[in-house]
Each structure stands twice: as structure tokens, then as C-alpha cells.
Amino acid sequence: MSLRPPEPTVRDVGEFGLIAAITEGLGPTASVPVSVGDDCAVLAPTGRLAVSTDAMIEDVHFKRVWSSAHDVGRKAVASAMADVEAMGARPLGLVVSASLPKDLPASWARELTAGIRAEAELCGAQLVGGDITSGDKIGIVCTVFGDLEGRTPTLRCGAVPGQVVAYIGNLGMAEAGLTVLRRGFRSPAAVVNAHRVPAPPYGQGIVASEAGAGAMIDCSDGLVADLRHIAEASGVVIALETDALQVAEPQKTVAAAIGGAEPLDFILRGGDDHALLATFAPGRVPAGWTVIGGVAAADGTPGVLVDGRPWDADGGWTHF
């Protein structure tokens, strides 16, 4: 009988050993003339920079029993970089700060890094630095940078009456996946995978900007909640038509399995898919986007109408 030696932990590898593993193969490029290894990275955008940051905390945004380390790394980057897309910027670079328990297997940390780098490559950005510290739970903070390349940023406050509202990406799939995982199941795979690794429609933020989008937002809190953000910032009413929303078969399957819930609720309330929502002049909606409503003047309080009625139900993600 042979006994395997215990798997090395991050304590065994040490801070600088982890940093060396994380940064292996990274170096300068035309848009990142100074990469890892100095006190700061140096970026060389062609236009103004869009900057955002996003945190993921274990047992709040993910659970290790639900997601692999690779999944967590990809999700951390995707959820942050979707904000860059929503401004109409091109993903350029990111820095990642991680808090890791000392007894975390070093292999988990390496897989986390692989996921971060895989998603960065997928969206066209480069990991340029970060920080590592110890903590009781895993925490990951991604700060991301996007190059506007001479374009005007697309803000939440630019919706005007007469425009249409459209989206591209997934809606409500991650929420259906979270519902499944909370009940101890792992299927349908399509919704579970959508929760584990969201799929922002990379490149479509620029497409929307160049099509003259009035307002745009990353759909992270939920469809109605994020449309409300646009409505309130723009001082308008957004009229959402649910007939235009397509409920996927896996969402119907989950709704039926949990006791006949309304599958449309996954779409209206659920966040974490990181689709893009935007407003356009009629006739200027880019290919691949789906029109789901319109923008009207607000006679009173700005907000969202769902099939002509004010939306007063709970829904949408908040932390507190």
C-alpha cells in the first residue's frame, strides 16, 4: 500500500511562486508596452480608457462545490469585462487581486489562473498585473480597462422617446441554472453552464456604438432591473413587451421541475447573464439583436412598463 504525498497548498508554493506561475509567458505587446514584473503596467490605448472593477466572493457569487476553479476564473473576467462592452469600448487589459485561503490546493489556484487567462484571451484583453493575499474565503477582484478608440462612450442616460429597446446575449439562463444548483441538481446542462460561466456577447458593444446606440447597459442585475437603470438615468419610460422574449426549452424544463413556476420570471428577474441591452433609432438595430420594447416620454416617474403595466414585483439582484 502506497501513500500519496499531500497535495501542495498555496502556503507551500508561496506568494512569489504563485505569482511566477500566474504570470508565466506574459510580456509586453503594442498595447501593453510594460506588462507584469514592474510596480505598474503601462497601457497604450489609442483613445480614452473605460475602467471598471468587479468582485467575486466565495459563497456569494460562486461555490466550489458547483464550479471548477477554471469556471470561477472565467466568470470573474466575464462579469467585469461585460461593463467595458457596455460602454462601447474594446477590451484591453485587466489586473486581478485574489484573496486565497492558505490551505487552498495550489492546483486550484493554477486552474483559476488558467480560467482568467482563457477568458481574457477570448475577449481580446491581456492580464497585466494584480495582487495576492491570504483570507478565510476566496475573493477575486478584477479591474478591467477598455479602449474607446476615439468613440464616444455609450452611457445609460442616452435613451430618448421614440427609440426601440433591444438585447443580444442570454437572458435568464444563469438564473435558471442557479435555481437548479440550489436544489442539488446539475442539469439541464445549458442553464447550469450559463451560471458557471456567463457568455457576454464580446464585440457587440462596439457594434452597438457604431450603430448609434442611445443608451446601453450590461444586464447583470436582471432584465427589468437593468432596464429601470436606463429609464431612471434617461428620465424616460421603457415599455417592455414580453411576447418578444423567447423562453428557452431548458428554462421551461426547470420551471416545470420546480412545481410549475413561470419560466418567463427567469428572464424578467434573473441576472448574471451579462447580455447587452441598448436603445436604438428604429431601423438602426444591428443584426443579431432582438427588439423587445420601446422608449416613451415619462409623464411622471421614470420606470419600466411590462406589457403596459408598471412593474412593481420584487426582482433583480442587490447585495443588501
Q: Do 123 and 190 share a domain, yes or no? A: no
Does one domain contain both 167 and 260? yes
Q: Is 134 exposed, middle or buried (0-12, 13-18, 19+ CB in 10 A)?
A: middle
The per-residue pLDDT for range 241-293, each reduced to its tens digit, is: 999 999 999 999 999 998 878 999 999 999 899 999 999 999 999 999 999 99
Name the band, by pLDDT with cuts 50, 70 and 90, for residue 319.
very low
Report how far residue 158's alpha carbon sits from residue 223's, in angstroms, rounded to the nearest whole number.
18
- The predicted pLDDT at position 315 comes to 52
Q: Is residue 6 part of a domain?
A: no
Residues 75 and 162 in one domain: no
| 221 known member of a binding site | yes
Domain with 269 in it: 156-310
- Domain final position from 129, 147, 165: 147
* Tally of residues, the chain: 320
Same domain, 163 and 140: no
If one compares 98 and 319, the residue with the highest pLDDT of the two is: 98
**Residue at 205 is within a domain:** yes
- Among the three residues 147, 170, 195, which one is the final residue of a domain in this structure? 147
Residue 48 belongs to some domain of the structure: yes
Contact criterion met (CB below 8 Å) for 169 and 207: no
Q: Given a cut of 60, is residue 1 above it in pLDDT?
A: no
Residue 319, annotated ligand binder?
A: no
Please report the pLDDT score of residue 318 as a whole number: 44
Asked if residue 246 and residue 188 are part of one domain, the reply reads yes
Same structural domain, 23 and 143: yes
Question: With 0-12 CB in 10 A as exposed, 13-18 as middle and 19+ as buried, what is 48?
Answer: middle
Q: Tell whether residue 301 is among the known ligand binding residues.
A: no
273 annotated as ligand-binding: no
Residue 53 is labelled as binding a ligand: yes
Question: Same domain for 85 and 186?
Answer: no
Could you say which of 124, 147, 170 is where a domain stops?
A: 147
User: What pLDDT does residue 22 have?
Assistant: 67
> Are 108 and 167 in the same domain?
no
Residue 317 lies in a domain: no
- Tell whether residue 317 is among the known ligand binding residues: yes
54 in a known ligand binding site: yes
Look up the pTM and report it: 0.90
On whether both 271 and 235 belong to a single domain, the answer is yes
Q: Has residue 68 been placed in a domain?
A: yes
Does residue 19 form part of some domain?
yes
Nearest Cα to 73, choosing from 119, 36, 106, 105? 119
Structural domains of the chain, count: 2
C-alpha separations of 164 from 29, 176, 187, 213, 237 in Å: 40, 27, 35, 10, 11
Is 31 flagged in the annotation as binding?
Answer: no
- The answer to whether residues 93 and 65 belong to one domain is yes
Task: Flag whether 29 is marked binding.
Answer: no
Asked whether residue 320 is domain-assigned, the answer is no
Q: Is residue 29 domain-resident? A: yes
Q: Please tell me the distance from the alpha carbon of residue 184 to that of residue 180, in angstroms, as a whole number.
A: 7
- Answer yes or no: is 312 a known binding residue: no
232, 200: one domain? yes
pLDDT of residue 311: 78
| CA proximity to 291, closest of 304, 277, 303 | 277
**Which range (184-188, 263-267, 313-317) has the least confidence?**
313-317
**How much is the average pLDDT of 210-224?**
98
Confidence of residue 232 (pLDDT cuts 50, 70, 90): very high
Q: What pLDDT, on the 0 to 100 scale, is given for residue 8?
A: 81
Over pLDDT 90: what percentage of the chain?
79
Cβ 79 vs Cβ 198: under 8 Å: yes
pLDDT in tens, 53-91: 999 999 999 999 999 999 999 999 999 999 999 999 999
Residue 173 and residue 94 in one domain: no
**83 is an annotated ligand-binding site residue:** yes
CA-nearest of 199, 178, 221 to 62 is: 178
pLDDT for residue 66: 95
Residue 272 labeled ligand binder: yes
Distance of CA 181 to the CA centre of its chain: 19
The CATH number of residue 112's host domain is 3.30.1330.10
